[in-house]
Amino acid sequence: MATTTLKGQPFDRPVLDSMLRRRMFYTPSFEVYGGVAGLFDYGPPGCALQANVIDLWRKHFVLEEDMLEVDCTALTPADVLKTSGHVDKFADWMCKDPKNGDIMRADHFVEEILEARLKGDKEARGVKVEEKEEDPKKKKKKVKATEAVKLDDAVVKEYEEILAQIDNYNGQELGQLIKKYEMKNPNTGVEPLPPVEFNLMFSTPIGPSGNLAGYLRPETAQGQFLNFAKLLDFNQQQMPFASASIGKSYRNEISPRSGLLRVREFLMAEIEHYVDPHGGKKHHRFDEVKDVELVLLNRHTQLAGQTLVKKVAIGKAVADGTVNNETLGYFLARIHLFLEKIGIDQTKIRFRQHMANEMAHYAADCWDAELLTSYGWIECVGCADRSAYDLTVHAKKTGAPLMVRERLAEPITIEEWQIDLDKKKFGPHFKKDGKTVEAAIEALPQDKREALAQDLKLDGKITIEVEGVGNGKVEISKDLIVIERRKRVENTREFTPNVIEPSFGIGRILYCLMEHTYWTRGSDGGDEARGVLSFPPTVAPTKVLLVPLSTHESFKPLLQHMSLKLRSLGVSSRVDDSSASIGKRYSRNDELGTPLGITIDFQSVQDKTYTLRDRDSTKQVRADEETILKAIKSLVEGEKVWADVEKELPAFEGQEVDVPVR
């Protein structure tokens, strides 16, 4: 699918990249030292854009949903991430070229080889293929050009089916694909070695002794989980509730590529919504979003080797089981509304369900909000049902009570199998292993207890498995233990909440936003087309450009006055009083995405009226200072759009006073 600009023009990525770097939205880190792959710095407009998107995120989620925001440390002891499963399972598959030592991410390698072969097939069939242009500044090894080789229709279908479910293959399966289809590194003509796992976390010792092992966090979530009990207290034991965190995370990517889309240090905004697992994970505000339509790509479609999508109301998707529960569905809809609010192109968004093999080790179900860019579909927001995984494993490891105690409206009677131990005989019998055996007995589930009660009655003894004691099996006679079915009355209920987690990659969202809002138009002088970034006023880095008609002295007091007025309203502005033409000055600020412009001319000096220009239409209106400032404030806060202002204020046709005021 060929990518287009906001206005439907052919998209030229190197031109946009060049503009973004020239205007310092972002720049490679440590560039004077040659740079480091996967590390970038944001310049002034990039910082402002990020701050505005984060501000809107806080209002849309934290404020709207009464979330509890926390800021936890990035340095994390190894024990925490060992318990969470990240030390063992947070990995990608990589393969190495035995000839030149190149390290490649295995799924990306397979993807690139098959895509190149499909491209060669199209060329052989006479189909015009759009070239993916690379940034000319990037040093790249010479790669052989794609050969135009026609493939059998059956092979084309096989390749397309593999690509449709590329995220579902494990390392062994990727290795089999590489062998089966004789995939070779285009730089050397050699088949890479079999894929091996590579943990993506940055490790670091904590403290001077080096005895405490740690990692830079790969996500902000663990700090939120470990503070759960305190947050529940802060929330006066009320459920459900959500915590939120915005902060840097770190992943040691195998082969960072695609600019801001795959980096080693990045900003995340994550929500952990804690919900009672009983009652189907309902959400009390689901009715507000049930009619929001989302484009969904479910796992069954992908496993069938297809990428067909359906637009469906989230209420229907939850009702028919496509989306697992109301709380997950509620957040998918809220994510969609947020992306729409910040200016993401609604024709370039879909929600893709994870397949079994690509599901994170903690997830029960997961959907990604993917945005279409010149690099293809990019995952920007993950929304996972983490079930009770994290709270359960941390509670088990530490003994901390990461659970909810809920007072029941009516006491309930529970009939269950209870175990009594004769402590006087039990301790001396098992000696040093006593506590271990006792813990194993207490952990026995109800069905196992029932079976053991029968064994005790028939045989006068039971055998249970206890890891680390003797040969792993322990025999207990009836004089040491009693297992009986009894009734007890419960006034409270204890449960471990399930967690629904929306996780936002802010850098990826920013890049997609820049691609989605970019377009070009011819400049006044008829020279080359100039870039425009049509950011909504709510997120634009700078809201207003102040432009004096010329360098005439009479304009300076008005410039200072309007600049001060805008600042007092909390509206960011820039002054461009250079000697370039007004058209040129507006043009170069259109590149920065500045949505509004105030022109100060001789008529302004005389009657304190100003023109207000719209970036996208280049239309202008004219009114007095108070009216113009009021219009700017309503546009910047998202209360009005330019069409509303055009209806309310007179259009500006031409300057009435064109002589300098002395």
Classified as helix, coil or strand, 608 is coil
Are 424 and 482 in the same domain? yes
C-alpha to C-alpha distance for 538 and 55, rounded to whole angstroms:
10
Is position 133 within any domain? Answer: yes
Are 33 and 83 in the same domain? no
* Total Cβ atoms within 10 A of residue 299: 20
pLDDT 10s digits, 239-255: 999 999 999 999 998 88
Number of domains observed in the structure of the chain: 5
The better pLDDT of the pair 659, 634 is held by 634
Tell me what pLDDT residue 148 has.
82
Give the list of residues 6+ apart from residue 534 with CB closer than 8 angstroms, or none: 6, 343, 517, 518, 519, 593, 615, 616
Domain encompassing residue 209: 73-90+205-216
The better pLDDT of the pair 259, 612 is held by 612
pLDDT 10s digits, 272-304: 999 999 888 999 999 999 999 999 998 888 888
- Say if residue 654's pLDDT is above 90: no
Tell me what pLDDT residue 469 has.
86
Asked if 367 contacts 337 with a C-beta cutoff of 8 angstroms, the reply is: no
Regarding pTM above 0.85, the answer is no
Are 451 and 335 in the same domain? no
Are 210 and 285 in the same domain? no
Q: Which CATH number is 146's domain given? A: 3.30.40.230
Residue 661: HSE in the Cβ half-sphere, 13 Å Cα cutoff: 12
Task: Please identify, among 494, 518, 550, the residue that sits at the C-terminal boundary of a domain.
Answer: 494
Is position 453 within any domain? Answer: yes
444 backbone dihedrals φ, ψ, rounded to 5°: -65, 130
Are 152 and 291 in the same domain? no
Q: What is the β-pairing status of strands 91-96 and 196-199?
A: antiparallel
Is position 397 within any domain? Answer: no
Are 286 and 317 in the same domain? yes
Are 455 and 471 in the same domain? yes
Is position 659 within any domain? Answer: no
pLDDT 10s digits, 102-158: 889 899 999 999 989 998 888 888 887 655 544 434 444 444 556 788 888 889 989
Are 284 and 180 in the same domain? no
Q: Which pair of tokens denotes residue 445? A: 């589930």
Is position 131 within any domain? Answer: yes
Q: Which pair of tokens denotes residue 83? A: 């318990």
pLDDT 10s digits, 22-74: 999 999 999 999 999 999 999 999 999 999 999 999 999 999 999 999 999 99
Amino acid letter, 623: A
pLDDT category at 267 given cuts 50, 70, 90 is very high
Q: Which CATH number is 483's domain given? A: 3.30.720.200
C-alpha to C-alpha distance for 75 and 89, rounded to whole angstroms:
19
Are 305 and 429 in the same domain? no
Tell me what pLDDT residue 199 has.
85
Alpha carbon 194 to its chain centroid, in Å, reads 30
C-alpha to C-alpha distance for 462 and 452, rounded to whole angstroms:
6
Tell me what pLDDT residue 141 has.
42
Q: Which CATH number is 552's domain given? A: 3.40.50.800
What secondary structure does DSSP assign to 216-278, as a single string? Answer: E-S-SHHHHHHTHHHHHHHTTT-SSEEEEEEEEEE---SS--TGGGS-SEEEEEEEEEEE-TT
Is position 523 within any domain? Answer: no
Tell me what pLDDT residue 343 has.
97
Is position 403 within any domain? Answer: no
Is position 526 within any domain? Answer: no
